Homo-oligomer: A and B are copies of this chain.
Amino acid sequence: MSKPVLIVGGGPAGLAAAHSLATVGKPCVLVEKEDRLGGAPILSGYAKLVPTDEWAKDAIGGMVTRVENEDNVRIETGTKVTKFDGTPGNFTAMLSNGESLQAEAAVLCSGFTHFDSVNKPEWGFGTFPDVVTTTQVEQMISSGKGVRCPSDGRMPKRVAILLCVGSRDRQIGREWCSKICCTVSSNLAMEIREELPDCHVYIYYMDIRTYGLYETKYYWRSQEEFKVKYIKARIAEVTSDGEHLIVKGEDTLVKRPITIPFDMVVHAIGMDPNVDNPEIAETFGIELESNGFLDVAHNYGTMGQTSRPGVFVAGAATGPETIDDSIAQGHAAAMAVLSGNKEAIGRTA
């Protein structure tokens, strides 16, 4: 029997890689540090996904079930890889459960870490209970409890979503754009308006990046069908007058200060490099790019190569990424492993 492929991380990319390898008869060991599979969409309780409108628990939950039912996939949750030696086709991995494992190749699908809004204190998170994150609003929706102000459980009448919290912000060492927050926030605004038709929803933005076909499906639709309001603004601070949250900033289109009261303020939090990336890079002997994501070689041949032959990477481990693109990259990395049997493994990345 051939050696298995080691897949690190059980989110969308890892599930895609494991499923596609398994279906062509390739054994895999899927190692996940958390105690269940699904990655951010499941562990953080996302609501309806972009761009399908399917619930995360159905869409990504379905991917989990498929992988759990695959005879060719062995799943090790609550487990990390602590050591990884050898050469393509002939690796040995040590797992945190003490097991030593032979592997033909590795696919790192270790994802990202959500930005922690306490690192942007002037925008009120951690100070005011009704300043929440997009993830918390997703949870309110996916749990069926609905969008409510945490302070007293009331339905908000006015909600502000602040984009680029922990993204495009050099002051806090995060220059990158998190790619999907604009579209996710447009989607979330529509979900809020659907549940609470009397609630006014404002989105504060620098640039609206609903790229590609998201432009019509999210940006235009949210304005025209759902009357979501977009304000191009630079936010100064989020305070409180005792009764309402107050968002202060400068409307950069009309160049004047704007101060607007809200019941709830939502931080559209960005995607940080996985906090474990330095450890992952050390364990697998691979490079990080300048922001701390796993470096990926775009060599127009096999996709998803890292700086070490036989070690591949897919999804948000490489930088902010959408769920769909993470899944495509997971399948592509699986394909690279299969192709690699013939020629790519050992090629300089």
Which of B20, B176, B177, B210 lies in contact with A338, CB distance below 8 A?
Answer: B20
For A289, the chain B residues whose CB sits under 8 A away are: 213
Separation in Å of the A70 CB from the closest CB of chain B? 10
Q: Kindly list chain B residues whose C-beta atoms are within 8 Å of the C-beta of A19.
A: 301, 339
B216 touches A176 (CB 8 A): yes
Among the stretches A116-124, A151-159, A250-258, A275-283, the one at the interface with B is A250-258
Query: Interface digits, A301-345 against B, CB 8 Å rule (1 contact, 0 not)?
Result: 111100000000000000111001101110110111011011110
Among residues 50 to 65 in chain A, which have CB atoms less than 8 Å away from a CB atom of chain B? 51-52, 54, 59-60, 62-63
**What's the nearest-Cβ distance from chain B to residue A230, in Å?**
10
A168 within 8 A of B: yes
Residues of chain B within 8 A of A342, CB atoms compared: 23-24
Interface mask (A124-148 → B, CB under 8 Å = 1, otherwise 0) = 0000000000000000000000000
CA distance A175 to B16 in the complex (A): 32
A214 to B290, CA, bound (A): 13
When each residue 202-226 of chain A gets 1 if its CB lies under 8 Å from chain B and 0 otherwise, what string results?
Answer: 0000011111111110001000000
Within 35-85 of A, Cβ neighbours of B (below 8 Å) are at 51-52, 54, 59-60, 62-63, 66
Contact call B211/A177, Cβ cutoff below 8 A? yes
Given contacts A23-B344, A52-B298, contact A216 B291 (CB under 8 A): yes
A91 an interface residue at 8 Å Cβ cutoff? no
CA distance A212 to B12 in the complex (A): 18
- CB-defined contacts of A60 to chain B, threshold 8 Å: 300
Q: Which of B52, B168, B298, B327 contacts A324 (CB 8 A)?
A: B298
**How far does the alpha carbon of A118 sit from the alpha carbon of B254 in the complex, in Å?**
33
Q: Which chain B positions have C-beta within 8 A of A200?
A: none
| A291/B335 in contact, CB under 8 A | no
Within 8 A of B (CB), among A208-267: 208-216, 220, 252-255
Contact partner, A23, options B176, B209, B293, B339, Cβ 8 Å:
B339
Report yes or no: A320 in contact with B255, Cβ–Cβ below 8 A. Answer: no
Contact status A54-B300, CB under 8 Å = yes
User: From A54, which residue of chain B is reached at the shortest CB distance?
Assistant: B300
Q: List 25 A-B contacts (CB under 8 A).
A: A19-B301, A20-B302, A23-B339, A24-B338, A24-B342, A63-B301, A168-B215, A175-B215, A176-B216, A177-B212, A177-B214, A177-B215, A207-B207, A207-B208, A211-B211, A212-B319, A212-B320, A212-B321, A213-B289, A253-B255, A255-B255, A303-B328, A331-B331, A335-B338, A338-B338
